[in-house]
Amino acid sequence: MKKISQADGIKDFAGRNYIYVDKTEYIYSLVSNYKRVFFSRPRRFGKTLTLNIIGTLYGEGVEPYFKDTWIYDKWNFGQFPVLRLNFQNYRAQSVLDFKQLCSKAIAEFADEVELTGKVKSTEPDVAILELLNALKRKKQRIVILIDEYDYQMTANINNRELYEEFRVCIRNFYSNLKSNEQIEFLAVTGVTRLKDVSIFSAGSDIKDLTYESAFSQMIGFTRDEIKRFYNDYLRLGVSYEDTEIRPEDATEAQIDDLLDRMAWRYDGYCFDKFCELKVFSTWSVNSFLQEMSSSKRVNFGDYWFDEVGGGLPSILVNYLQTHTLDVSVLQQDDILISYSEFQSPTSLTDINQSVLMCQTGYLTLKSPANEDCLFVTLGLANQEVRKALSRLLMFRFISEDFLKTHPAKEAVAQYSAEKLVLFFNKMLAAVAYDRYPLKEESMVRALLQVFLQGSGLKVEVEKHNSKGRCDLMTHTQERHVVLELKYSKDGTDERSLLDDAVNQIKRRDYGAELDDGKALLRLALVFNGRDDKRKFTLWQEVPEA
């Protein structure tokens, strides 16, 4: 059985015992219809690999790399020298260093195409112009592939001065690429889409395909692709969960059930302006299947933000150094923003927070996004993203020392009702009041959710049963914990609010649907929001009926 590769990019497709999900039909359509393209995607979605496929086709042709792929007998676009620039390889804390490294890469490429000495400038915009002018005299065309075009700007989202220096430098560079006849094909990728860079300015001939429906599944895996290319692994998963079933005997229904559970965690990303076509995270799917194969058991881990693979997205980490992220996003199914804000964010330093979270992969399209729309709806893509956001926020508002000495899983699994309430109060006391003032019930609920979910616990918000929905429910291997919260602004109505919470739990029988033999702890809690309190002051355990 072929292995799963987690490489960010591959050039040599021959002789590798890896699964390759064939996206070459998209590449053929891309090159057939456009000569200048841009597309953005969050980290770990396969932007670099897509550029490498294009570069290999133009630079090497189909032999022997693309045998047995869709494009093998259809590529007819010729071969050209390929200039590859990955801005992530150039320093982000010094504009001078960036300019020198980028210009050096252009000069080295000129040497490779027998234009030695033609690129002399250490200014990237001048260096690329020198190269293109030399190619014109030689009547030669090239392909240019630029990866992570926005890396220097995203790295300095919290440094306006340095951000602006990089923005001007990069804008000037792209200005010299416009409408140049020596460029046979140009593709640019990044995480963000910014109007203050000339890629998207008036007169630019670069087509932004980020939300173009025809290419919305070019990057990422569809359910059908996973079922087709990873069928052997899916069958293994079925057999690992039921040892009496051999992989070859796994039924379509059993395979679909496993895919359904994968989808809940890793699917739901939408890059289609009509909001019809969605994709799975390639990194998460590959990681899940790799771990399943090596451990011989089905374990739905969280991979998109794991520390081994690179940790949390640097853009949001940098952003949070100077901005406060709204934790209420965790409790909103729908986030509404104007179409203009979504489509044309001007600058990273002033970007709408929800747009930034969409571009970095935390939120995704939940409604159509085209010229006919006044507003666009965004939301969390899947359970893995929800946990990733909780973890990011948790490390922002609670100190590492507290997290190390107060294990949430142990507290929820073993603490008595009284000790658990004290534990929650310690956690809330560790939150910076100026950044997250607890002025209403929804904020208290959001912070509890962030803390529990970020600690790795399964958390359900406003969990429905046949009679209603409770505020929070969390689960461990030992027991279920149901929380019904009430908020008192000044403490004068604490007793009546507690009675309301207790009666609500009893009347609606929260937790009764959890008939799995585990212990059930049901808690009614009242939070006193007065400045000298800011804690749960009254609580009551509600036994099962």
SS (H, E, C) 458-472: EEEEEEEECCEEEEE
Same domain, 380 and 403: no
Same domain, 180 and 36: yes
Q: In what order do the strands lie in the sheet containing 82-86?
A: 82-86, 142-147, 183-190, 36-40, 207-208
Same domain, 118 and 160: yes
Nearest to 13 by CA among 74, 81, 60, 76: 60
Mean of pLDDT over the chain: 88
306: confidence class by pLDDT, cuts 50, 70, 90? low
311: confidence class by pLDDT, cuts 50, 70, 90? very low
Q: Are 3 and 19 in contact (CB under 8 A)?
A: yes
Which of the pair, 396 or 486, is modelled with greater confidence? 486
**210, 235, 269 - which closes a domain:** 210
Checking if the pLDDT of 406 tops 50, the result is yes
Nearest to 142 by CA among 99, 90, 177: 177
Is 159 domain-assigned?
A: yes
Q: Which residue is listed with tokens 């045998």?
A: 67
For residue 524 the two structure tokens come to: 């009614």
Is 163 domain-assigned?
A: yes
Rounded to whole angstroms, the Cα distance separating 409 from 488 reads 28
Q: What is the full DSSP assignment across 115-127?
A: -TTS---SSHHHH
5: confidence class by pLDDT, cuts 50, 70, 90? low
pLDDT, residue 14, reads 45
Q: Are 182 and 136 in contact (CB under 8 A)?
A: yes
Same domain, 358 and 417: no
**295, 329, 357 - which closes a domain:** 295
pLDDT, residue 17, reads 67
For residue 243 the two structure tokens come to: 């040892």
**Range of weakest confidence among 198-212, 338-352, 492-506:** 198-212
Nearest to 217 by CA among 276, 258, 150: 276
For 271, the 3-state DSSP assignment is: coil
The dihedrals phi and psi of 378, each to the nearest 5 degrees, come to: -115, 160
Same domain, 428 and 498: yes
Checking if the pLDDT of 64 tops 90, the result is no
Is 108 domain-assigned?
A: yes
Rounded to whole angstroms, the Cα distance separating 260 from 253 reads 10
Other Cβ atoms within 10 Å of 276 Cβ, number = 10
Same domain, 160 and 50: yes
Q: In what order do the strands lie in the sheet containing 335-338?
A: 335-338, 375-380, 363-365
391: confidence class by pLDDT, cuts 50, 70, 90? confident
Q: Counting runs of H as helices and runs of E as strands, what totals does the chain give?
A: 19, 15
Per-residue pLDDT reduced to its tens digit, 446-463: 889 888 988 888 888 876
Q: Are 454 and 403 in contact (CB under 8 A)?
A: no
**384, 408, 433 - which closes a domain:** 384
Same domain, 239 and 162: no
Radius of gyration of the chain (CA): 27
Is 93 domain-assigned?
A: yes
431: confidence class by pLDDT, cuts 50, 70, 90? confident
Q: What is the CATH number of the domain that holds 496?
A: 3.40.1350
Is 455 domain-assigned?
A: yes
Is 39 domain-assigned?
A: yes
Rounded to whole angstroms, the Cα distance separating 515 from 329 reads 31
Task: Please give the residue range of the domain that contains residue 535.
Answer: 398-541
Which of the pair, 14 or 225, is modelled with greater confidence? 225
pTM of the model: 0.86
Q: What is the full DSSP assignment across 127-138?
A: HHHHHHHHHHHH
Checking if the pLDDT of 9 tops 60, the result is no
Pairing of strands 278-279, 269-270: antiparallel
Same domain, 115 and 31: yes
pLDDT, residue 7, reads 43
Is 261 domain-assigned?
A: yes
Q: What is the CATH number of the domain that holds 83?
A: 3.40.50
Is 256 domain-assigned?
A: yes
Same domain, 354 and 418: no
Task: Calculate mean pLDDT across residues 469-474.
Answer: 89
Q: Which amino acid is located at 236 in the chain? A: L
Same domain, 179 and 39: yes
pLDDT, residue 360, reads 87
Per-residue pLDDT reduced to its tens digit, 329-366: 666 778 999 998 898 777 777 888 888 889 888 899 99
Domains in the chain, number: 4
Nearest to 52 by CA among 149, 153, 145: 145
Same domain, 140 and 234: no
Same domain, 280 and 318: no
pLDDT, residue 308, reads 40
